[in-house]
Amino acid sequence: MPDDEQYRIDKQQARRSFDAAAKTYDEAAELQYEIGDRMLERLDFVRLQPARILDLGAGTGHFSAALLKRYRKADIVALDIAPAMLEHTRTRGGWLRKPACVCADAESLPFNDDSFELIFSNLMLQWCTDLEGTLAELRRVLAPGGLLMFTTFGPDTLMELRASWNAVDGHTHVNRFADLHDVGDLLLKTRWADPVMDSERITVTYRELSRLMQDLKHIGAHNVTAGRPRGLTGKRRWQQFSAAYEAFRVDGVLPASYEVVYGHAWSPVNKYAGQGNEVPLASLLPREPGNDA
């Protein structure tokens, strides 16, 4: 199987994995929520008054609720590929104001052009099979002058897990993650205005390898690549994998590394003219204290 084909995401399997994790996601998603909170804080430096916001890859709706609170006059649309996740999202918000839930694939959005002024996407883009096409689709549904803000994972994410499985067999066990510079290049290629990219490293530690594997299962982060091994992991292969991972133990704990990529870009004001990368100056000004937009 060609290398690119081995890492192709099986979308149906991904949907099933996230559906199965809907009940356990919130208790296991501490890292995911910390990353999303850090992205949310970046909106403090953006003066934006969106009327409609898309929470792309909303999961159980944790950040849909946060966006409802931050932008009290905006309509929030929560989109996710897993219907069981959206069942939890429907409980978010108050009596009079809840997110509208849409079950769909981010690579083919069921929205008209220029439907949103803000797209907020926390750790979803790494599940897309065609990142360039997805970015073009997001630009289509974002109104001129609107903001795309996202996080995704970079290539060094779960590098210990990847290396340990590579010592056991030739199958794919961890997704292939796009490099920060490649994502930035794709934003330029799909004609986003003024893209900004940066990254940081976060290391989560575990006493036992089984706890890491349990956390990944509970957030739905199963191996859904086309080159994944079929069938159950036998005792011998698990022992080999566990022994390989033990080589990374430091000070009594096992590390799990995450390369977190942050990005934002604007939909050009003249997006249909195909000229320039104009962004409203007011959008770049700090938000006024206490302004809920």
Quick one: pLDDT band at residue 114, thresholds 50, 70, 90? very high
pLDDT at residue 37, rounded to an integer:
98
pLDDT at residue 228 in the model: 62
Tell me which of 6-20, 129-143, 181-195, 269-283 is least confident.
Answer: 269-283
Tokens 């210990």 appear where? 160
Q: What pLDDT is attached to residue 278?
A: 41
Position 292 scores a pLDDT of 35
Q: How far apart are CA 144 and CA 270, in angstroms?
A: 7
**Mean pLDDT along residues 17-46:** 96
pLDDT at 104 (0 to 100): 98
161, 166, 171, 172: CA torsion to nearest 10: 40
Mean pLDDT of the region 87-94: 95
Measured CA to CA, the distance from residue 189 to residue 17 in angstroms comes to 32
Q: pLDDT class for 110, splitting at 50, 70, 90? A: very high
Provide the pairing of β-strand 193-206 with 52-56. unpaired
- pLDDT at 95 exceeding the cut of 80: yes
Q: What is the pLDDT of residues 207-266, one digit of tens each?
A: 999 999 999 999 998 776 766 665 546 688 889 999 999 999 999 999 999 999 999 999
**CATH class, range 3-157+177-203+260-284:** alpha beta
pLDDT at 285 over 70: no
Q: Which pLDDT value is given to residue 280?
A: 42
What CA–CA distance (Å, rounded) separates 285 from 288? 9
Domain segments of the chain: what residues? Answer: 3-157+177-203+260-284
pLDDT of residue 8: 77
CB of 263 closer than 8 Å to CB of 187: yes
What are the angstrom distances between the C-alpha of 246 and each of 29, 157, 164, 241, 269? 24, 18, 9, 9, 53
Residue 3 is predicted with a pLDDT of 60
